[in-house]
Amino acid sequence: MGRAFVYVILGGGVAAGYAALEFVRLGISHGELCIISEETDQIQSFMLHLNECGDYITEILKVAPYERPALSKGFFLPEDPARLPSFHTCVGAHEERLTPKWYREHGIELVLGTKVKSADVRRKTLLTATGETISYKILIIATGARALKIEEFGVRGSDAENVCYLRNLVDASRLVDVMRSCTGGNAVVIGGGYIGMECTAALVKHRIKVTWVFPEKHCMGRLFTPKIAAFYEDYYKSRGVNFIKGTVLTSFENDSGGKVTAVVLKDGRRLPADMVVVGIGIRANTSLFEGQLNIEKGGIKVNGRMQTSNNSVYAVGDVAAFPVKLFGNDIRRLEHVDSARKTAKHAVAAIMVPQKTGDLDYLPFFYSRVFTLSWQFYGDNVGEVAHYGDFSSGRFGAYWVDKGQMVGAFLESGSREEYEVIAEAVRLKVTVKDIIELEREGLEFAMRV
Ligand code: FAD
Ligand code: NDP
């Protein structure tokens, strides 16, 4: 059994949606493009029907590409939460919302709820778990990443019904169910990164008392300076969050039904828990291509046109390790949505209009929104840091300066115009002569650029 397409996108997440829109804009014909994705929508799969024989049948609903960031934000709102189809790609970039109908109307084949088990880049084929061989002329790998499990750090217990991860819609639906059953109770959040930060805020909003545990000295250790982290930690404390830093989880205590009742930490502390959320990082889904394509920094290595070591294969989004011009073509694997959107569009342009498409010139951009707070960061967080503004009122920011040039900029609660100017200052790598003066000038410095 087999089908053939000109273009195949493997993976149906953020990058796949943006790539599909770009293919349509650049003029593909009906039947040329296929997207294969294993994602399903758990909410619907809980709808069990009794068939004539008295068996339960699970209706697994397949899901077209959506804006993954919505899962830890709008999806978790206690009131009027966001649900599909409202956050299908590409609404996150204020572009068209691509519903399953849109793909049908544009003659794009969606092979959903289907895992690709193996890939052969020499033969240009993919083998699905349903036994179908799908062949392509050009492949875009957009397989994203998977959440790391505690078992990978020698701790058991991920399968307990009140231990939650968050990567996809199935996880998010489950987390909502568990949260709703724990109102007034205790949660332990493991991991001090993005998932920890955004899920802690969601749990608090659901009136759950949170203890946030992570190994570093402060939250968001990979990006925040101690001073920036202190602002957010103080805010979280004011919302009742308890912090335990510098230690990790070693085991769970469970009741007779297998539910976790307490979390035991390496420093010996025991925390009673009605639920646990784990966010301890991700691994890019490269395994299908290991030994076939070049791998670097945990991702599939591509050039500035998102082309892998095989000319017919491109990689985009979380799975791609690409040269960032702004950082002297240093190879980076960025785990953020803006990068997924832009690398996807760039790959499609490189495929469809190669003569007009040069190397991607990407400015790394990260952001988050928690409670009433909202920050953006552009560039790289290396070199000396100049903090500015008023940390007590929440109107503050920071610049990173390396070898006399601005390489990174962070701003909390900025306006659109302010975010644009700090981004531009980093893009231009403006010269900084005096870091003390930069600190004093603060936002004005970027405004003058
Ligand atoms: P993904 O969106 O992960 O899509 C990968 C797809 O490939 C999935 O559909 C997967 O099922 C499929 N797939 C993988 N392997 C196979 C296979 N073998 N066969 C078939 N299908 C396969 N970034 C930000 O910048 N800002 C945010 O606020 C933000 N919030 C986030 C919130 C959450 C909860 C999460 C999990 C991530 C968030 N991110 C955020 C990160 C952002 O969502 C990712 O960077 C982005 O989704 C990457 O897009 P992608 O298409 O590369 O991968
Ligand atoms: P992060 O990499 O952001 O953070 C992981 C955290 O877990 C770090 O504090 C890390 O510490 C810690 N950690 C690592 N190993 C252990 C361990 N064994 N026990 C306890 N803690 C550990 O990953 P997340 O899981 O938070 O996020 C997953 C993905 O989702 C990322 O790609 C992220 O970009 C994305 N995301 C992005 C959002 C955004 O951009 N706003 C929002 C939500 C998710 P250490 O650094 O010391 O290893």
The order of strands in the sheet holding 365-370 is 365-370, 373-379, 405-412, 395-402, 384-390
Rounded to the nearest whole angstrom, what is the distance from the C-alpha of residue 177 to the centroid of ligand 2? 23
What separation in angstroms does the CA of 413 have from each of 72, 165, 389, 420? 19, 29, 11, 13
Question: Which atom of ligand 2 is least distant from the CA of 366?
Answer: 40
Ligand 2 pocket check for 196: Cβ under 6 Å: yes
Ligand 1 pocket check for 74: Cβ under 6 Å: no
Do residues 433 and 414 lie in contact, with contact meaning Cβ atoms separated by under 8 Å? no
pTM recorded for the entire structure: 0.96
Do residues 408 and 389 lie in contact, with contact meaning Cβ atoms separated by under 8 Å? no
pLDDT value of residue 52: 52
- Kindly report the length of the chain: 449
Q: Choose which residue among 143, 173, 223, 290 to substitute to test ligand 1 binding: the one with the highest number of ligand atoms within 8 A of its C-beta.
A: 143
Ligand 1 pocket check for 146: Cβ under 6 Å: no
Ligand 2 pocket check for 37: Cβ under 6 Å: no
Looking at residues 206-220, what average pLDDT do you find? 98
Tens of pLDDT, residue by residue over 365-415, are: 999 999 999 999 999 999 999 999 999 999 999 999 999 999 999 999 999
Tens of pLDDT, residue by residue over 8-60, are: 999 999 999 999 999 999 999 999 999 999 998 864 444 444 445 545 545 55
ipTM: 0.98
